[in-house]
Amino acid sequence: MDEFGIIARYFAPLATAPGAFGLTDDAATIPARPGFDLVVTTDQVAAGTDFFAEDPASTVAQKALRVNLSDLAAKGARPEYYLLNLALPRPAREEWLAEFTRGLSEDQRQFGISLLGGDTSATEGPLSISITAMGFVPAGRMVTRSGAKLGDAVYVTGTIGDSAGGLALLKGEGKGLSEMDRTYLVDRYRVPQPPVAFGNGLSDIAHAGVDVSDGLIADLGHLALASGVGIVVDAERVPLSPALRRLWGADTLARAVAAGDDYQTAFTAPLGLSGPFTRIGRVQAGEGVNLRVNGEEVVVPQPGYRHF
Amino acid sequence: MDEFGIIARYFAPLATAPGAFGLTDDAATIPARPGFDLVVTTDQVAAGTDFFAEDPASTVAQKALRVNLSDLAAKGARPEYYLLNLALPRPAREEWLAEFTRGLSEDQRQFGISLLGGDTSATEGPLSISITAMGFVPAGRMVTRSGAKLGDAVYVTGTIGDSAGGLALLKGEGKGLSEMDRTYLVDRYRVPQPPVAFGNGLSDIAHAGVDVSDGLIADLGHLALASGVGIVVDAERVPLSPALRRLWGADTLARAVAAGDDYQTAFTAPLGLSGPFTRIGRVQAGEGVNLRVNGEEVVVPQPGYRHF
């Protein structure tokens, strides 16, 4: 089956938006939505770097998509469309494509989005997936990294470090961990859980926001730098799952905040908010990010993932 | 230099649109433009498939960008923005990046576009570049593949086959060809010349259009299928460059119309138009594409490039 057959059979059914033309044209259209800005983000993932080549194709698809939905959530945007570039090692296996597109289809239903276009080609290298995701925010209301205000509280959704815990398990750590904890953590590595529905209302409450993908401390550092402020994180407030604590014990906090791949949203907003998030710190004058345990600084061993 | 340094030094200067936030945020914004549709397309290129790893970095950049601008031109859209995902083999060489971004910068000036965002990562595979390009057309006026009308003339911009000729030279054909012809053809392979300015007005004249990237006959076949019509191409009218004729002699037409990588626009429109394009055929009842030389059919040896 060549790429035209692959597109017609596996991808065209995902192109539900009218502007996608059923993937039978050279481009897609997005009608102007007066009063809204289109928010656009793009991320690529590759076998051996962001997932394992032998991971289930459905979770590979969902990870590739959700790392992008995470960016939209952190910006307060409601996702609508995505474009998919797939570089596949030969031969293209139909059962893999069926499972890959099943994962996409499930996420399209869950998040209310449509495939809009893409490109499928063969590669001599590892499987790689490049996705561009798009959504809408009220005009001028994208939650930027630069809007943090002195006195803001710092909040984060979900729990931190689970994905890194799952990766550690897949690399051989934690032999004694229960099957339930193992499943929970590996699932978090394979299928991120970005706060998409929550992100839809983020622009109503947040002054600044960032996608936690490079590591909590590293990404808060990006936000602090863009906002020209300092951030203090109270170590005991960082949300850590019981499974992760059982895996890493006393090292949990130090490893979790330095790991990446969380795909949660960290944001600053007025004190006293409650919702599906945890207050972990505050914005103050200065620069950079301090992590405090009982008033003392903890050294963060690594400032986040770097490719080079 | 890690990817943060690479982005700050080489890519941020290209992000001239306000909505790109200088590449310091997780996403970019595009304000709604009432009365216009955003047209979106994405294509990836890879070393060893679409260019040679040792090609000049500036031409690699321009090819990656222009294959996308070609799609926008064929749809009648005026380009405005692009996103760039770069998967770089390690180590990332600064002189390569400097040259790569110089190529992008030149094209941004020439075409009036801005980098809007992207993602830079390391790869164990060949260098690959995935670009999403965006532009605007008046609302509802994208030139689709499906609008061809019976009796339309078929036109094409530029000349056909030059890129394939350049590739043939790089693979060892045409040892006796002059240096001038060689340079002309290799340049066409390395740096496509999509009709971007012309495309801007295409929606005023064309009923249907397609980007010539898989091969003239193959792409007209896509248009014919989408429009539910047949197309006859008059072989003697297909625009062929003198350099290509000197390279391929009597085989020129047959090879040129089956080759890919042209990145010109083929379109259907009323008879009798003149402009920077050539009339090559007509739309009739039926299906598929016939190539006629003095009333006789010529067999097209290959229906266009396929990855698998």
Domain count, chain A: 2
Could you tell me if residue B119 is inside a domain? yes
Residues of B within 8 A of A88 (CB-CB) are 308
For residue B127, the domain's CATH number is 3.30.1330.10
Judge contact between B219 and B304, C-beta under 8 A: yes
CB A27 to CB B118 under 8 A?
Answer: no
Q: Point out the domain boundary residue: B138, B172, B205.
A: B138
Q: Find the CB nearest B3 among A26, A83, A308.
A: A308
Could you tell me if residue A100 is inside a domain? yes
Residue A92 sits in the same domain as residue A209: no
Could you tell me if residue B77 is inside a domain? yes
Residue A7 sits in the same domain as residue A92: yes
Could you tell me if residue B147 is inside a domain? no
Give yes or no for residue B194 having a pLDDT over 70. yes
Judge contact between A293 and A241, C-beta under 8 A: no
Q: What is the pLDDT of residue B308?
A: 67
ipTM of the complex: 0.93
Could you tell me if residue B15 is inside a domain? yes
Classify residue B24 as exposed, middle or buried by CB count within 10 Å of its CB (0-12, 13-18, 19+): middle
Q: What angle do CA B292, B297, B302 make, to 5 degrees?
A: 100
- What's this model's pTM, rounded to 2 decimal places? 0.94
Could you tell me if residue A225 is inside a domain? yes
Judge contact between A139 and A35, C-beta under 8 A: yes
List pLDDT tens digits, range A29-69. 999 999 999 999 999 999 999 999 999 999 999 999 999 99
Could you tell me if residue A145 is inside a domain? no
Residue of B nearest to A21 (CA): B144
Residue A225 sits in the same domain as residue A184: yes
Range of the domain at A280: 153-297
Residue B237 sits in the same domain as residue B112: no
List pLDDT tens digits, range B272-287. 999 999 999 999 999 9
Q: Point out the domain boundary residue: B83, B106, B138.
A: B138
List pLDDT tens digits, range A75-114. 999 999 999 999 999 988 999 999 999 999 999 999 999 9
Residue A82 sits in the same domain as residue A217: no
Judge contact between A9 and A120, C-beta under 8 A: no
List pLDDT tens digits, range B219-253. 999 999 999 999 999 999 999 999 999 999 999 99
Could you tell me the maximum CA-CA distance found in chain A, to the nearest angstrom?
A: 62
Q: Could you give the dihedral angle defined by the CA atoms of residues B275, B132, A19 and B205, in that order, rounded to the nearest 10 degrees?
A: 0
Whether omega for the bond prior to residue A91 falls within 30 degrees of 0, making it cis, is: yes
Residue of B nearest to A92 (CA): B308
- Which whole-number Å values give the CA distances from A106 to A112, A113, A291, in the listed order? 10, 10, 38
Residue A174 sits in the same domain as residue A257: yes
Residues of B within 8 A of A131 (CB-CB) are none
Q: Point out the domain boundary residue: B138, B167, B184.
A: B138
Could you tell me if residue A304 is inside a domain? no
Residues of A within 8 A of B25 (CB-CB) are 75, 144-146, 226
Residue B245 sits in the same domain as residue B167: yes
Q: What is the pLDDT of residue A302?
A: 46
For residue A230, the domain's CATH number is 3.90.650.10
